[in-house]
Structure 1
C-alpha cells in the first residue's frame, strides 16, 4: 500500500511525575504476563481533508495531557516487578496513505491493515528498554483517519487499553471544540492492581509463553446478530440465558476441534476472565493493569453437541468465579501458597506443547465510544498473532454482533475457514458496513 511516514516523535507527559511516584509496582498478574504489544486500530470516516494537520496537532497535545494522568505508561520497565516513571514518553508516528479509507473498509485484508500499525509491532515482544505504548496516526486521502495503538500487555489488559483511549479522546474533544475551563475526568486507579494482587513474597515466575505456530494466519469471521440469536435459540433449552460470547465461543471451539481432527479430551480450552466486577467486593472498571485471569477447562468427553458444550463453558466460568476472585482478594494465611500454585499451574498449562484453544473477548468494552471530536468510530479492529489457536472477539458496531479473529496454522485454517457448519452462522471477512 502506498503510504509515506511523515513524522516520528516522542510525546511526553504535560506535567512531570512527582518524585514520590517514580517507582510504580506491578502486580503478580502483570509480572506473569508477556511483554507483547496488544494492537487496536480505530477508523474514523471523516470527510474534511483540509484540517488533518490541525487534528494531528490536537492529538499530540491531548496525548501529552492524558499521559500525565497515566504517568506509568510514559515510563520504562525498571525490572521484572516495577516501572520507572521517568516521563520518557511514548512513540508517536504520523503517515499519509494514498488511498481512501473506503478502500480499506471494503476489503479489510491483512496486507492492507498491517502497514497501519507502527513498525509491525502487533504481538511482538517489547524490548525491556522499549517504549510501553506506540501510536500511529494514519491520514487517508479522503480525510479519514485511522489511529492504531500498540500497548505492551505487561502494563494492562483490554479494559485498561480502552479506558486510556477514551480518556485521551475526551481530552481531545475539549481541545477540538476549544472549550475553556477545567475538564473533570474519572481518575484512573493506578496502583490498585498491585495493591490487591501484590507480588509480596511470591517467587517471580517466568512470563507466559503461549505456543507459537508455524506459518500462522489469521482470519476474521463475523457473526451477525440474527445468527447469534439462532445459536442462542438452539441451545437455550439446555442452559439458561447463554451470552453472545458463550455461544460463539462454543461454536468456534467445536468446529476448530472437529476440522483439525482432534477431540475435546486432547484439546483443552481457556478463556480470559475480567476479575473487576467479579471480585468481592467488586473493583472499579477504572482499575489500571492486568485485572484478569484464565478459566481453563479440560473436558472429559471426546465429543459433545453444541448445547452441552455451551453448558460446560457456562458451568466452568461459574465455578471459576466461585473460587478465584474470592481467593485472590482473601486474607487467609495460605493465600500466598494458593496464588503461587495458581501462577505455576497457568505457567505449566501454557508452556506445555499441547493443542490449547485460548479465547479473549473485548465484547461489551466501550470500543465504539472513542470519540476524539469527529464522531464515533466507523470500525474498531485488531490484528493477527503468531500465537497458535488464539481467538479474539470484538463487538460489531451495532453492539449486537461479534467479530472473531481466529489465529491458526495455515494448514488448520484451510479446513476451518471452509467448514460448512461454521459458515452457516459466520461470514468470512465481509466488507465493513455489511457485517452488523
Structure 2
C-alpha cells in the first residue's frame, strides 16, 4: 500500500456530478460453488483489491482530492425468495432497484464520509447471484493520476453541481446485430463508409426521439460522452480508471455530420484543454440570441459498449446479463454476444408514451425482451 494520504482529482473528476453509478451483474447457479462460499471468496478478493487500489477505500476530502484513510467500502448481503429467472424474463425498474445497496443508484453522495463504493450480493432461491456495485462517479484516475493529465492549475473551482433527479421513466430497447447491420447499410456513405454500432444506434434514437416528440433539430441538441483514453498521445492504458471523458455536443446536424462528429478523432489534448478553460464562460440557455443559447431540449448519451462487463468472472462463470438502473439519460451497453446493443432510454412519461410506439424505431429495436431473447 502506498503511504500517500491525499490523492488529487483531475479537473474533469471534480466537475462531474458526485453521484453513484450503478452496475449489476447476474450469474446463474453452479453446482461447484455454494452461495456462502462465493460470498466468502468475494470478501477476500475485495480486501486484496482494495489494498492495491487503496483510494477506493477512502473518502472525499473535498471537490479536488481523496483522503486515503482506509475507511473501507460498504458490503451488504441480501437473500431473496424469488428465482433469478423471474427477473430475467421481465426486467423492470421495480424488480431491479431493490438489488442495489441502500437505493444509492444515481443518487448524490450526501457527505464526505460516504463510502466511494457500495456493494450488495443478492442471493436468489435458485442458487443464482446478482452482484451490484454503486461507485462514485467522481472517481479518480488510477493508476494513471488524472491530475497529471488534466491539472487544476489556474482553472476555476466550480461550485459543486448536484445531480438533478426528474420524473423520467425508463425503457429498455434491444438492437440485435442483424438490425444494426441493416442500419449501417442504410446510412453508409462516401463521407462515413464504416459507421460504428454506437453511431448508428445513437443517431437513430436521436432522430426518432426528435420526430416522435414533435421537436426540431435546430432546438434539440445531442450530447455524447467521448472516451479520451485512446485519443491521447500516447494512448492511456485501457485499465486507467476515472472520468477520462469529455462531451461531444452536436447542434442541428445533418445525418452525415452526426456520424462524422461521433467518429472524429482529430481533436488533440490542447483542444480539450481549451474546451475546459471555456467551460466557465459558456452562456446559459436563453441568455442571448445566438443559436447555442436557443437550445431548449438536450438528449444525453453515454456508451458503455466494448467495456468488458461480460468478462467479470469470479470463478463460477461469466455473467448471463449485465445492466444498470434508470437514470436521466440514454445508456448504451453490449448484448451478451457482443454484436447487439441494449439501450436504456429515459424520458418524461408523456414523451416515452410516444417514443416507445414509434414505428420506425421498432423496425430495428425490441422493447424489453426477456434476457436471452434479442440480447
Match of 1:151 in 2: 135
- Name which of 266, 278, 285 aligns with 1:341: 278
Cα distance in 2 between the residues matched to 1:126 and 1:88: 16
Match of 2:290 in 1: none
- Given that 1:49 and 1:143 are in contact with CA atoms closer than 8 Å, whether structure 2 keeps it comes out as no
Cα distance in 2 between the residues matched to 1:30 and 1:241: 33
- Name which of 66, 77, 89 aligns with 1:106: 89
Give CA-to-partner distance per residue, 1:408-436, whole Å, 9 cap, x none: 00110011011111111100000000023
Residue 218 of structure 1 pairs with residue 218 of structure 2? no
Cα distance in 1 between the residues matched to 2:194 and 2:232: 22
- Name which of 147, 155, 158 aligns with 1:202: 155
Give CA-to-partner distance per residue, 1:220-254, whole Å, 9 cap, x none: 00001111111111111352100001000011001
- Name which of 180, 186, 210 aligns with 1:228: 180
- Given that 1:48 and 1:142 are in contact with CA atoms closer than 8 Å, whether structure 2 keeps it comes out as no
Match of 1:3 in 2: none
Residue 134 of structure 1 pairs with residue 118 of structure 2? yes
Q: 1:219 to 1:264 in 2, by over 3 A?
A: same
Aligned-residue offset at 1:324: 4.7
- TM-score normalised to the size of structure 2? 0.92
Aligned-residue offset at 1:31: 0.7
Aligned-residue offset at 1:317: 3.4
Q: 1:70 to 1:276 in 2, by over 3 A?
A: same
Aligned-residue offset at 1:52: 1.0
- Name which of 50, 63, 73 aligns with 1:80: 63
- Given that 2:15 and 2:161 are in contact with CA atoms closer than 8 Å, whether structure 1 keeps it comes out as yes
- Given that 1:279 and 1:326 are in contact with CA atoms closer than 8 Å, whether structure 2 keeps it comes out as no
**SS at 1:203's partner residue?**
coil
Give CA-to-partner distance per residue, 1:1-32, whole Å, 9 cap, x none: xxxxxxxxxxxxxxxx443x110000000011
Match of 1:383 in 2: 325
Cα distance in 2 between the residues matched to 1:413 and 1:210: 21
Pairing 1:11-410 to 2, within 5 Å after superposition:
17-19=1-3, 21-48=4-31, 51-129=34-112, 130-155=114-139, 189-191=143-145, 193-208=146-161, 212-213=165-166, 215-237=167-189, 239-299=192-252, 308-309=254-255, 311-319=256-264, 321-328=265-272, 339-342=276-279, 344-345=281-282, 348=284, 354-385=296-327, 387=328, 390-410=329-349
- Unaligned segments of structure 2, at least 5 residues: 288-292
- TM-score normalised to the size of structure 1? 0.80
- Unaligned segments of structure 1, at least 5 residues: 1-16, 161-187, 301-307, 329-334
- Given that 1:360 and 1:393 are in contact with CA atoms closer than 8 Å, whether structure 2 keeps it comes out as yes
RMSD, aligned α-carbons: 2.1
Cα distance in 2 between the residues matched to 1:338 and 1:104: 43
Cα distance in 1 between the residues matched to 2:34 and 2:317: 15
What is the number of equivalent residue pairs in this alignment? 366
400-409 vs 231-240, greater mean Cα deviation:
231-240
- Given that 1:137 and 1:146 are in contact with CA atoms closer than 8 Å, whether structure 2 keeps it comes out as yes
